[in-house]
Amino acid sequence: MKQRLEKLQTWMKENEIEVSFLTSSENVFYLSGYYTDPHERLLALVVFQSEEPFLVCPGMEIHDARRSGWEYELLGYSDIDNPWELILSSINKRINGVTKAAIEKEHMNVERYEQLSRLFPKAAYVSAEEKLRKLRMIKDARELKIIEEACALADYAVEVGVSEIKEGKTELEVLNAVEYALKQKGVTEMSFATMVLTGANAASPHGNPGGTKIQKGDLVLFDLGVVVDRYCSDITRTVAYGDINDKQKEIYDTVLKAQLAAVEASKPGVTAAEVDLTARRIIADAGYGEYFPHRLGHGLGIGVHEYPSMTETNPLIIEEGMVYTIEPGIYVPDIAGVRIEDDLFITADGAKVLTKFPKELQIIK
Amino acid sequence: MKQRLEKLQTWMKENEIEVSFLTSSENVFYLSGYYTDPHERLLALVVFQSEEPFLVCPGMEIHDARRSGWEYELLGYSDIDNPWELILSSINKRINGVTKAAIEKEHMNVERYEQLSRLFPKAAYVSAEEKLRKLRMIKDARELKIIEEACALADYAVEVGVSEIKEGKTELEVLNAVEYALKQKGVTEMSFATMVLTGANAASPHGNPGGTKIQKGDLVLFDLGVVVDRYCSDITRTVAYGDINDKQKEIYDTVLKAQLAAVEASKPGVTAAEVDLTARRIIADAGYGEYFPHRLGHGLGIGVHEYPSMTETNPLIIEEGMVYTIEPGIYVPDIAGVRIEDDLFITADGAKVLTKFPKELQIIK
């Protein structure tokens, strides 16, 4: 944590930012070690170039925050306090006015921005997010270890899901069995709402699982992730229930070819755009370009969608230590929906694939 | 939906607001009927005084949005489009410049606010939230029916939880059994992370369930809610496992007395503050004032925390049609944590209690 705070402070000095006022649960956790979802209440980590930082949280969480290992000042407030007055006083104890402040512009809402602007009306407000995304984009050994655990549990979840496929079972029944099995392993949180989609339902890239029953000839799609120590995994596998037709097979093969090529292309020095286009071209060449309507993937960590964003226009250079997903998909309404997704860790030699459930077409009898 | 849009439009006319630019999933759903969690992508409902509204969503969701019943323009964008240019063009087709715009200041982030301000640099931006909260605060018959269903499932969940209590079982084991039973009933989403806390753990108002084992003499606290058709319920019950001591009993009795008094005090014409203070005084008089560190309750609906906010300083007048929680609690570290929470619907005659699981101290043998 201290090293992370120091990196932020170095950046603040370089950019003459006197104060960083960070409000997202994820960045507060990344820098302080304390995670909470404060709902509509204010959570803030206030960092200075040299002075001691302080953490603002609902008063009833003070003990939890202290127990999480935060060593510096804790500013608790009750539901009837005005936290902004307390914050102003704590800032004024440390520094003499603010001319430039860093905030999370994609997280802080306009109401809080107006509150903060009233405290420091002469300050310029710049975004802290680009810097925090870059810090968070490169994972350390401890983070990798946690993500590997989360990926192993995601593999297990798909394994359970595939074993539950049976004629006439609904998407929700399979989903429940998967999540129940995970809970028995101590999992308390999924990265996002688990998806089990079958047949025509899987042909929507963001369909919702429901009462649709699995039938022979269906492609069944699993998209899920597990949270371990606040880090996310994210896997997608599509399997066949019984024999599928040639069109479905062609679509599966195309997605798999694109996915494998993009994994192969993932290494330090190439751009995110090159990786995306490696997969996108294969899908377009097979005639399915218009049926792949989303980016190739996204970074993964404390957030389930982090940097790098794997789009066809992102010039960002891939580096050692990055963790991201590769998840091409083809969705042809009423015919087939196939997506295959792995989580990758980038090493000097190329990609290490962290999700290990087989990708060759599985035909469940 | 049309009536809701019309009420918003009337307010816009009264306040000379040419455009409302709404971005939260909850308010977009309330006014359009389409619910989606767009993650970091932009979702927006754009409403005018008289011209036709339009809905902005990720391109891949166009079909889902149409299927949800939205009849007006749908503006889809891909991950490589700039949605702001499309939005500007759609607004310019309808009206001639913007001098006053309404946004959700507590939801819209600073980055989007800056984008919007670039499109309409001369506009004043006012908050739409107060108006939407007031609209949403009064539930119609259809909404009440859905919330009643959600409450019945919450009652069932507590019933399952209580029946699972056994010497040596962990909080997580009980929690899993509860959620599994709900899923078997078709529940796909909880209002928030379910809490099952036992013994000293329950003495934190926002503790997290884990591997702590239930032991004789523990107070076991359940706090959970079920989402039905996007509406939330929220219930808390605390039960005794085996015989508890006099101090624990005194705390339970005090909370129950405060809870019943606040339910009784809930009727049209009183203020939220009076209701809160009715419970707070009873707890303070019993000597536990400092151990009740949160507000008495909160409104409930599409959001799990809505208006009215039941604090000791809120002058808001309680009205027919409101739905809110009454949830006093006393948390004495290492001795006891007790909270009892019901969901109330306000009628002309007073409160109708929607959560029905018994509140008299249950001693599980």
Is the distance from CB of A22 to CB of A136 less than 8 angstroms?
no
Structure tokens at A122: 């002469």
* In a shared domain, residues B104 and B15: yes
Interface-testing mutation among B61, B79, B114, B294, with chain A (most A C-beta atoms within 10 A):
B79
What DSSP designation does A138 have? Answer: B
Distance CA B274, CA B332 (A): 25
For residue A334, the model assigns a pLDDT of 86
For residues B25, B29, B35 and B36, what is the CA-based torsion angle, rounded to 10 degrees? -20
Is the distance from CB of B263 to CB of B353 less than 8 angstroms?
yes
User: Of B119, B136, B153, which residue sits at a domain end?
Assistant: B136
**Range of B51's domain?**
2-136
Q: Round the average pLDDT of chain B to a whole number and report it.
A: 95
Q: Inter-axis angle of helices B129-137 and B2-14, to 10 degrees?
A: 140
Phi-psi region of A39 (alpha: psi -120 to 50; beta: other; left: phi over 0): left
| Yes or no, beta carbons of A179 and B184 under 8 Å apart | no
Residue of B nearest to A170 (CA): B186
Distance CA A65, CA A63 (A): 5
Nearest to A278 by CA among A233, A305, A311, A303: A311
What DSSP designation does A201 have? Answer: G
Residue of A nearest to B333 (CA): A63
Model confidence, pTM: 0.81
Q: Which helix (H) or strand (E) holds B44?
A: strand B44-48
* In a shared domain, residues A349 and A218: yes
For residue A205, the model assigns a pLDDT of 64
Q: Cβ–Cβ contacts within 10 Å for residue B30, how many?
A: 24
Burial class (CB in 10 A: 0-12, 13-18, 19+), B53: buried
User: Of B136, B156, B184, which residue sits at a domain end?
Assistant: B136
For residue A361, the model assigns a pLDDT of 97
Percent of residues, chain A, with pLDDT higher than 70: 99
Q: What CATH number has the domain bearing residue B42?
A: 3.40.350.10
* In a shared domain, residues B190 and B125: no
Distance CA B132, CA B223 (A): 28
Question: Per-residue confidence at B291, pLDDT binned at 50, 70, 90?
Answer: very high
Between A7-11, A208-212, A216-220, the lowest mean confidence (pLDDT) is in A208-212
* In a shared domain, residues A194 and A257: yes
Tell me the nearest-neighbour CA distance from B108 into chain A, angstroms. Answer: 5
Is the distance from CB of A174 to CB of A219 less than 8 angstroms?
no
* In a shared domain, residues A250 and A331: yes
| Yes or no, beta carbons of B295 and A79 under 8 Å apart | yes
pLDDT one-digit tens code per residue, B86-138: 999 999 999 999 999 999 999 999 999 999 999 999 999 999 999 999 999 99
Distance CA B132, CA A318 (A): 44
- Which member of A79, A110, A305 has the closest CB to residue B294? A79
Residue of B nearest to A129 (CA): B111
Distance CA A338, CA A238 (A): 6
* In a shared domain, residues B248 and B324: yes
Residue of B nearest to A103 (CA): B110
Nearest to A162 by CA among A217, A97, A238, A230: A238
Average pLDDT estimate for A266-291: 98
Residue of B nearest to A179 (CA): B180
Helices (H) and strands (E) in chain B, counts: 10, 19
Q: In one letter, which amino acid is A17?
A: I
What DSSP designation does B59 have? Answer: G
Is the distance from CB of B120 to CB of B103 less than 8 angstroms?
no
pLDDT at B79 over 80: no
Query: What HEC string does A328-359 produce?
Result: CEEEECCCEEEECEEEEEEECCEEEECCCCCC
Structure tokens at A227: 């949270």
DSSP 3-state helix, strand, coil percentages of chain A (rounded to 5)? 40, 25, 35
pLDDT at A76 over 90: yes
Nearest to B181 by CA among B200, B153, B217: B153
Between A72-81, A97-106, A135-144, the lowest mean confidence (pLDDT) is in A72-81
pLDDT one-digit tens code per residue, B329-352: 999 998 999 999 999 999 999 999
For residues B147, B222, B358 and B229, what is the CA-based torsion angle, rounded to 10 degrees? 10
Q: In one letter, which amino acid is B287?
A: G
Tell me the nearest-neighbour CA distance from A217 into chain B, angstroms. Answer: 24
Is this prediction's ipTM beyond 0.85? Answer: no
Domain count of the fold of chain A? 2
Q: How far is CA A243 from the centre of its chain?
A: 35
For residue A204, the model assigns a pLDDT of 75
Q: In one letter, which amino acid is A194?
A: T
Chain B residues in contact with A63 by the CB 8 A cut-off are 204, 333
What DSSP designation does A126 have? Answer: E
| Matching residue, tokens 């295959």 | A340
Q: Cβ–Cβ contacts within 10 Å for residue B331, how many?
A: 23
For residue B205, the model assigns a pLDDT of 65
Chain A residues in contact with B302 by the CB 8 A cut-off are none
For residue A206, the model assigns a pLDDT of 64
| Matching residue, tokens 């997202």 | A24
* In a shared domain, residues A106 and A75: yes
For residue B334, the model assigns a pLDDT of 87
| Matching residue, tokens 């500013």 | A75
* In a shared domain, residues B144 and B123: no
Distance CA B205, CA B337 (A): 8
Chain B residues in contact with A178 by the CB 8 A cut-off are none
User: Of A84, A104, A136, which residue sits at a domain end?
Assistant: A136
Q: How far is CA A166 from the centre of its chain?
A: 31
- Which member of B59, B105, B304 has the closest CB to residue A109? B105
For residue A1, the model assigns a pLDDT of 80
For residue A19, the model assigns a pLDDT of 98
pLDDT at B247 over 70: yes
Nearest to B87 by CA among B116, B58, B124, B129: B116
* In a shared domain, residues B289 and B179: yes
Beta strand A235-241 with A297-299 is: unpaired
B232 forms beta bridges with B227
For residue A259, the model assigns a pLDDT of 98
Chain A residues in contact with B276 by the CB 8 A cut-off are none
Question: Per-residue confidence at B170, pLDDT binned at 50, 70, 90?
Answer: very high
* In a shared domain, residues A197 and A275: yes
Structure tokens at A193: 């709402």
Average pLDDT estimate for A50-65: 95
- Which member of A111, A189, A294 has the closest CB to residue B105? A111
For residue A210, the model assigns a pLDDT of 85
Average pLDDT estimate for A257-265: 98
* In a shared domain, residues A99 and A131: yes
| Yes or no, beta carbons of B80 and A311 under 8 Å apart | yes
Q: What CATH number has the domain bearing residue A186?
A: 3.90.230.10
pLDDT one-digit tens code per residue, A6-47: 999 999 999 999 999 999 999 999 999 999 998 889 999 999
- Please state, in angstroms and as integers, the Cα–Cα distance from residue A211 to each residue in A177, A178, A231, following that order: 14, 16, 31
The C-alpha angle with vertex B169 and arms to B168 and B171, in degrees rounded to 5, equals: 125
Average pLDDT estimate for A306-312: 96
* In a shared domain, residues B220 and B255: yes
A293 forms beta bridges with none
Could you please report the per-residue DSSP string of A56-125? EEEGGGHHHHHHTT--SEEEEE-TTS-HHHHHHHHHHHH-S--SEEEE-TTTSBHHHHHHHHHHSTT-EE
B196 forms beta bridges with B222
| Yes or no, beta carbons of B311 and A79 under 8 Å apart | yes
What DSSP designation does B342 have? Answer: E
**Of A300 and B39, more confident:** A300
For residue B206, the model assigns a pLDDT of 64
Average pLDDT estimate for A272-295: 97
Q: Round the average pLDDT of chain A to a whole number and report it.
A: 95
| Yes or no, beta carbons of B80 and A313 under 8 Å apart | yes
Question: Per-residue confidence at A301, pLDDT binned at 50, 70, 90?
Answer: very high
